[in-house]
Amino acid sequence: MMEDRKLDVLRAIVTDYVSSHEPVGSKALVDRHNLGVSSATVRNDMAVLEEEGYITQPHTSAGRIPTDKGYRFFVDRIASIKPLSPAEARAIKAFMSGAVDLDDIVSRTVRLLAQVTHQVAIVQYPIVSSATVRHVELVSVTEGRALLVLINSSGRIEQRTVDVGRADEDDLADLRDRLNTELVGQRLRRAGGLLPEVVAQVPDVLQPLARTVAVTLAEMLDEEVATRVAVGGVPNLTSFGAGFDGIRPILEALEEQVVLLKLLGEAHDDTLTVRIGAENPYQQLSTTSVIASSYGNSEDVRASLGVVGPTRMDYPSTMASVRAVARYVGRFLSES
């Protein structure tokens, strides 16, 4: 068990390094923090912390910086996550209150999270297991082409253009009515399974049109059920200067949806997860930390969001922001 004084020294080193991005020396710690001991004592404590792997000296005669182990110990000893100020909470509410549908909610959330944390934000689209088909629209847009629109009960709208050959407005209206009769009110996955029945019931003259529309609609329903990830704030990576190495492999990792979903995957039950440095499952992200939280407060709506940034991030503030945004978005979705 680390002595309280050494923990205070480690905490001070982490705080100063996050703030200055420069190695921290014993004199600076004594000058900036009320440690109640001399510089010599602090140097001895730093030597012990270095020997135990909590800090390291990047250059001869330089100060010390935290290691991944040091950050982990610091994060695990944060007694409580500070709440956002009333002004910050009001700003979040105001930013989110104008959202009109699920895509807008996710877009606003990822921009908000990147803005308040100054990190790269990742937001998983919520898996709305209770979502149902609200309406299917099929309308001619040009000769031989029609717009197929799918609206679900969570407010999400998907649309595709389809080749309808020589079908006229009456043919499109007939098929649209049949689709709505069979699919409206059905869970999304169930609706996809009903499409062959709809096709089988249409008159022979409408069979080619029905098969074409059913294939496209099945793809749209599958995408509605599948989860996706939105990313924002990527330029924030460059704000940490030349000392933050390996931006290119990080950018490559952030382009992979499977990687992002795995990063968020351990967040559940309204708890924060913090992965630091080598704790991340991908080598490309070994110089980063990931803070994630689940959002959605019911069995019907669940997903995760989080941020990726350098290991020297401001953990207390970032953890507070991630938790606050997750809780607000969860409430917003449950009330929508």
Instruction: Name beta bridge partners: 55.
Output: 66
What residues does CATH 3.30.390.60 cover in the chain?
133-225
pLDDT band at 249 (very low <50, low <70, confident <90, very high): confident
Side-chain half-sphere CA neighbours of 51 within 13 A? 8
Lowest mean pLDDT among 14-23, 177-186, 247-256, 260-269: 260-269
CATH 3.20.20.70 fits 4-76, yes or no: no
User: What separation in angstroms does the CA of 88 have from each of 92, 109, 117, 130, 325?
Assistant: 6, 15, 12, 32, 10
Residue for token pair 């100063």: 16
Q: Which fold has domain 133-225?
A: Enolase-like; domain 1 (3.30.390)
Query: Is the distance from CB of 254 to CB of 234 less than 8 angstroms?
Result: yes
- CB < 8 Å & 24+ apart, contacts of 327-332: 327/270, 327/295, 328/89, 328/92, 328/93, 328/96, 329/96, 329/105, 329/109, 329/295, 329/296, 329/305, 330/270, 330/295, 330/296, 330/297, 330/301, 331/297, 332/96, 332/99, 332/105
User: Which CATH number does the domain 86-125+227-335 belong to among 3.40.47.10, 3.30.450.40, 2.60.40.10, 3.30.470.10?
Assistant: 3.30.450.40
Residues 6+ apart with CB under 8 A from 143: none
What residues does CATH 1.10.10.10 cover in the chain?
4-76
What residues does CATH 3.30.450.40 cover in the chain?
86-125+227-335
- Separation CA 93–CA 96 (nearest Å): 5
- CB < 8 Å & 24+ apart, contacts of 169-172: 169/140, 171/206, 171/209, 172/138, 172/139, 172/140, 172/146, 172/209
pLDDT in the model for residue 173? 94
Lowest mean pLDDT among 110-119, 170-179, 259-268, 308-317: 259-268
Nearest to 3, CA basis, from 77, 81, 79, 72: 77
**Rounded to 5 degrees, what are φ and ψ at 209?**
-65, -45
For 125-149, how does the pLDDT look when each residue is reduced to its tens digit (9 = 90+)?
A: 876 666 789 999 999 999 899 999 9
For 12-26, how does the pLDDT look when each residue is reduced to its tens digit (9 = 90+)?
A: 999 999 888 889 988
Average pLDDT of span 239-246: 58
pLDDT in the model for residue 145? 94
243 has pLDDT over 60 = no
